[in-house]
């Protein structure tokens, strides 16, 4: 049921999301040039109704038709919706946005079925004639259907919806909508609610009144801000507490609301806070008759205020702050008295484990990547493919590109993961949809794009081939991490070395780890064994040899050593000039690997590192 709702909501929002730029342009023209706008201009204000009544329905119908029937579906969808637009009298009737959401996919389906019917019946040489005339004739018939049937039907539906909204406002019951909105948001139905339902109704209200409260119901960043502030001040888990400030910036300024959903899901009773916060904010906006002139997308405070009417910008901001304050005041005691110290990552891991057990599967907290050396495409996917997934892909791309430049890291919506994807990174709640979207991809489930052990494990595996074992640290481990022991020193650097084979180079790096007291001598054999499984050559003249997972018992302390081979050492068909030997306890060496990746971001640094005689310079680059 949940997946079906998410899929339907995603389908609705997917018709609107690619066209949000057009909605924003329409919103700005409305905010700036109508008589009550910032810069009243009668001529420019005349653009606004043409965009609302013609441009936006055509764009939505084209997108919906293309989603179902490809490029031909997009064209026939645009033709079909014009009948519905004309049926309401163009700019004299109601905006046909919801009608476009029906006519576009319907037209795409019709042309898709026609093409399937004609697939084996198309006479040779008549392809272009039949293809063009089929779109034209079927498009004409659908436009007639839209004018006589769809147009009055959608007008009646919009009248009922608008009357319902007005009745709720008159009865002062609209704030209760938050009871449904906030839980639906954390189930990743936020885009479907905002762009599939509220945006069309809001557009109708803007045409009549110049503003609409509907644009404020889901997009208000205040409720989520309050939750994140409460976790920042009162969370018992250190990682969760430290991740909250970064989440606040991304949520409040970036407008990516998905970032706070895991904080609610880890302690579901916290959902009361954004519900109450949004109820109070909607009530405030209703009392003072506040609205926006266009959709706020993304739900950033910047976007929210940019589409506020000139004379209500202070009231709009006040509603955001009120929502944040109320949400914070409600969430704070809940977190203080119900938080048992579990981390965001632990909660996510528990959810994954319970889900797997219910299906009779065995799972580990971060998964095991099969054949890391063969990974070529990693996709970060969220519901819409525009917010949290874009942020996650950017962060991970910057992290991995120096070590594995052969890997492509992109983001997309969870229902449009490309077939070539090797690994799909998604929030746990979207994992089932990701599996259906791309059955051949390995799914990595995460809970937090800022600090998730599954992402650290993924980075570890595709950069070194090993699985990072994550566990709750003992007190001694916490102290050790705070003191940050030196894992890279001058004694671990050898320059101007020569080796005839990669085995010789690996032994030299392993012996350096032994000499530093990091490992037992047997670890060297484990490094050689690891190289037989899959090469540790990473490209760009870099190799990172290390022991097998089974050899972790021979590691005494975390250490990284660096051996330079100016003439290169053959690693298969490639040559490595830079060899980093690794021995790690837990994840202590991940910071150093990240520094290696950052240092190798600059090609000039890479080239100099291959030939320099300056040990201090190398130490500086990697410290």
This prediction has a pTM of 0.56
| Residues 6 or more apart whose Cβ sits within 8 Å of residue 306 | 28, 31, 296
- Most confident by average pLDDT, 166-180, 282-296, 362-376: 282-296
Distance CA 450, CA 250 (A): 10
Q: What is the DSSP letter of 546?
A: B
Query: Which residue among 195, 251, 546, 589 is the active-site one?
Result: 546
Q: Pick the more confident residue, 62 or 346.
A: 62
pLDDT tens digits for range 128-137: 888 899 999 9
pLDDT score at 474: 38
pLDDT score at 350: 45
Q: Are residues 223 and 337 in the same domain?
A: yes
| Residues 6 or more apart whose Cβ sits within 8 Å of residue 454 | 348, 365, 366, 367, 425, 444, 445, 446
Q: Is the peptide bond before 298 cis (omega within 30 degrees of 0)?
A: yes
Core vs surface per residue 172-193: b (16+ CB within 10 A) or e: eebbebbeebbebbbbbbbbbb
**498 part of a folded domain:** yes
Q: Which of 40-44, 195-199, 352-356, 486-490 has the lowest mean pLDDT?
A: 352-356
Q: Decide: 122 and 134 in contact? Cβ < 8 Å.
A: no
pLDDT score at 175: 92
In the residue annotation, 382 being an active-site residue is answered as yes
Is the dihedral angle over the CA atoms 118, 119, 120, 122 positive or is it negative? Answer: positive
Which CATH number covers residue 508?
A: 3.40.930.10
- Most confident by average pLDDT, 21-35, 374-388, 605-619: 605-619
Domain that holds residue 604: 484-621
- Per DSSP bridges, beta strands 559-571 and 423-427 are unpaired
Q: What is the DSSP letter of 519?
A: B
Q: Are residues 186 and 221 in the same domain?
A: yes
pLDDT tens digits for range 183-205: 888 776 666 677 667 877 887 78
Q: Are residues 419 and 493 in the same domain?
A: no
For 19, the token pair is 């066209």
**208 part of a folded domain:** yes
Instruction: Tell me the average pLDDT across 480-486.
Output: 41
pLDDT score at 547: 77
Does residue 225 register a pLDDT over 90? Answer: yes
Q: Are residues 362 and 216 in the same domain?
A: no
**407 part of a folded domain:** yes
- Per DSSP bridges, beta strands 574-583 and 377-382 are unpaired
**81 part of a folded domain:** no
Residue with the two structure tokens 């005689």: 613
Q: Are residues 319 and 352 in the same domain?
A: no
Does residue 102 register a pLDDT over 50? Answer: yes
CA 7, chain centre distance (Å): 17
Give the domain-ending residue among 430, 464, 498.
464
**303 part of a folded domain:** yes
Does residue 161 register a pLDDT over 90? Answer: no
- Most confident by average pLDDT, 9-13, 447-451, 527-531, 596-600: 527-531
**54 part of a folded domain:** no
Instruction: Tell me the average pLDDT across 462-478.
Output: 48
Does residue 554 register a pLDDT over 70? Answer: yes
In the residue annotation, 195 being an active-site residue is answered as no
* 416 CB burial (10 A radius; 0-12, 13-18, 19+): middle
Does residue 582 register a pLDDT over 50? Answer: yes
Give the domain-ending residue among 314, 342, 370.
342
Q: Are residues 187 and 332 in the same domain?
A: yes
Confidence class of residue 475 from pLDDT cuts 50, 70 and 90? very low
Strand partners, 559: 583
Does residue 10 register a pLDDT over 70? Answer: no
pLDDT tens digits for range 13-51: 678 778 888 888 888 888 788 887 788 899 998 998 899
Q: Are residues 371 and 390 in the same domain?
A: yes
pLDDT score at 355: 39
Q: Decide: 389 and 427 in contact? Cβ < 8 Å.
A: no
pLDDT score at 366: 42
Annotate 388-429 with three-state secondary structure.
Answer: HHHHHHHHHHHHHCCCCCCCEEEEEEHHHCCCCCCEEEEEHH
Does residue 139 register a pLDDT over 70? Answer: yes
**58 part of a folded domain:** no
Q: Are residues 363 and 335 in the same domain?
A: no
pLDDT tens digits for range 583-602: 877 555 555 565 566 666 56
| Residues 6 or more apart whose Cβ sits within 8 Å of residue 321 | 222
Which CATH number covers residue 394?
A: 3.40.50.2300
Confidence class of residue 344 from pLDDT cuts 50, 70 and 90? low
Distance CA 345, CA 366 (A): 10
Q: Are residues 369 and 336 in the same domain?
A: no
Confidence class of residue 146 from pLDDT cuts 50, 70 and 90? very high
Distance CA 200, CA 206 (A): 10
pLDDT score at 143: 95
pLDDT score at 330: 96
Query: Which residue among 251, 257, 382, 421 is the active-site one?
Result: 382
Q: Pick the more confident residue, 10 or 317.
A: 317
Q: Are residues 262 and 405 in the same domain?
A: no
Distance CA 586, CA 589 (A): 8
Q: Are residues 547 and 611 in the same domain?
A: yes
Q: Pick the more confident residue, 506 or 541.
A: 506
Q: Which of 71-80, 90-99, 266-275, 338-347 has the lowest mean pLDDT?
A: 338-347
Confidence class of residue 447 from pLDDT cuts 50, 70 and 90? low
**198 part of a folded domain:** yes
Residue with the two structure tokens 């976007």: 303
pLDDT tens digits for range 397-437: 888 887 788 889 988 878 788 878 889 988 777 788 888 88
Q: Are residues 325 and 199 in the same domain?
A: yes
Nearest CA to 101 among 197, 172, 242? 197
Q: Cα–Cα distances in Å, from 541 out to 132, 249, 515, 573?
A: 55, 38, 25, 11
First to last CA, the chain: 51
Give the domain-ending residue among 407, 431, 464.
464
* C-alpha atoms less than 13 angstroms from C-alpha of 165 in its C-beta half-sphere: 19
- Per DSSP bridges, beta strands 442-446 and 423-427 are parallel
Mean pLDDT taken over the chain: 80
pLDDT score at 368: 59
Total domains in the fold of the chain:
3
């Amino acid at each position: 049921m949940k997946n079906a709702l998410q899929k339907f909501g995603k389908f609705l929002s997917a018709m609107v999301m690619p066209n949000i730029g057009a909605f924003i342009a329409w919103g700005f023209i409305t905010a700036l040039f109508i008589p009550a706008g910032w810069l009243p201009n009668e001529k420019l204000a005349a653009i606004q109704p043409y965009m609302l009544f013609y441009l936006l329905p055509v764009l939505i119908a084209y997108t919906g038709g293309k989603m179902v029937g490809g490029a031909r579906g997009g064209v026939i969808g645009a033709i079909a919706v014009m009948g519905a637009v004309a049926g309401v009298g163009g700019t004299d009737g109601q905006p046909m946005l919801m009608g476009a959401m029906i006519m576009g996919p319907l037209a795409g389906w019709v042309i898709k079925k026609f093409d399937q019917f004609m697939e084996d019946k198309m006479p040779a040489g008549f392809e272009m004639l039949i293809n063009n005339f089929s779109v034209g004739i079927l498009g004409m018939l659908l436009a007639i259907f839209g004018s006589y049937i769809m147009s009055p039907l959608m007008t009646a539906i919009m009248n009922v919806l608008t009357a319902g909204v007005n009745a709720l406002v008159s009865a002062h019951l609209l704030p209760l909508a938050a009871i449904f909105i906030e839980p639906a948001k954390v189930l990743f139905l936020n885009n479907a609610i905002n762009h599939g339902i509220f945006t069309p109704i809001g557009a109708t209200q803007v045409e009549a009144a110049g503003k609409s409260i509907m644009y404020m119901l889901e997009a208000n960043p205040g409720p989520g801000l309050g939750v994140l502030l409460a976790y920042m001040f009162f969370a018992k888990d250190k990682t969760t507490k430290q991740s909250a400030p970064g989440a606040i910036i991304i949520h409040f300024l970036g407008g990516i609301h998905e970032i706070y959903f895991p904080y609610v899901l880890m302690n579901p009773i916290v959902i009361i806070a954004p519900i109450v916060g949004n109820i109070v904010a909607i009530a405030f906006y209703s009392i003072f008759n506040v609205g926006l002139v266009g959709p706020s997308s993304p739900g950033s405070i910047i976007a929210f205020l940019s589409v506020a009417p000139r004379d209500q910008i202070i009231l709009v901001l006040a509603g955001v702050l009120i929502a944040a304050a109320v949400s914070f005041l409600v969430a704070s005691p809940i977190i203080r008295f119900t938080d048992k110290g579990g981390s965001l990552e632990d909660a996510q891991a528990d959810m994954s484990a319970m889900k797997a057990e219910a299906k009779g599967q065995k799972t580990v907290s971060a998964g095991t990547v099969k054949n890391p050396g063969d990974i070529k495409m990693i996709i970060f996917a969220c519901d819409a493919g525009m917010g949290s997934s874009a942020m996650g892909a950017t962060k991970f791309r910057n992290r991995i590109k120096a070590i594995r430049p052969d890997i492509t890291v992109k983001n997309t919506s969870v229902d449009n993961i490309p077939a070539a994807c090797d690994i799909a990174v998604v929030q746990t709640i979207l994992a089932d949809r990701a599996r259906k979207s791309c059955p051949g991809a390995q799914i990595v489930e995460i809970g937090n794009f800022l600090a998730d052990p599954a992402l650290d494990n993924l980075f570890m595996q595709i950069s070194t081939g090993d699985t990072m074992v994550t566990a709750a640290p003992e007190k001694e481990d916490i102290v050790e991490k705070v003191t940050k022991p030196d894992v890279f020193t001058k004694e671990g650097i050898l320059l101007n070395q020569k080796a005839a084979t990669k085995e010789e180079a690996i032994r030299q790096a392993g012996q350096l780890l032994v000499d530093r007291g990091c490992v037992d001598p047997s670890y060297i054999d484990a490094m050689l064994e690891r190289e037989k499984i899959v090469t540790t050559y990473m490209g760009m003249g870099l190799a990172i040899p290390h022991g097998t997972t089974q050899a972790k018992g021979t590691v005494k302390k975390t250490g990284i050593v660096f051996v330079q081979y100016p003439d290169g050492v053959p690693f298969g068909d490639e040559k490595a000039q830079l060899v980093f030997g690794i021995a790690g306890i837990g994840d202590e060496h991940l910071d150093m690997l990240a520094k290696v990746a950052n240092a190798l971001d600059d090609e000039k640094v890479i080239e100099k590192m291959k030939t320099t005689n300056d040990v201090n310079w190398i130490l500086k680059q990697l410290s």
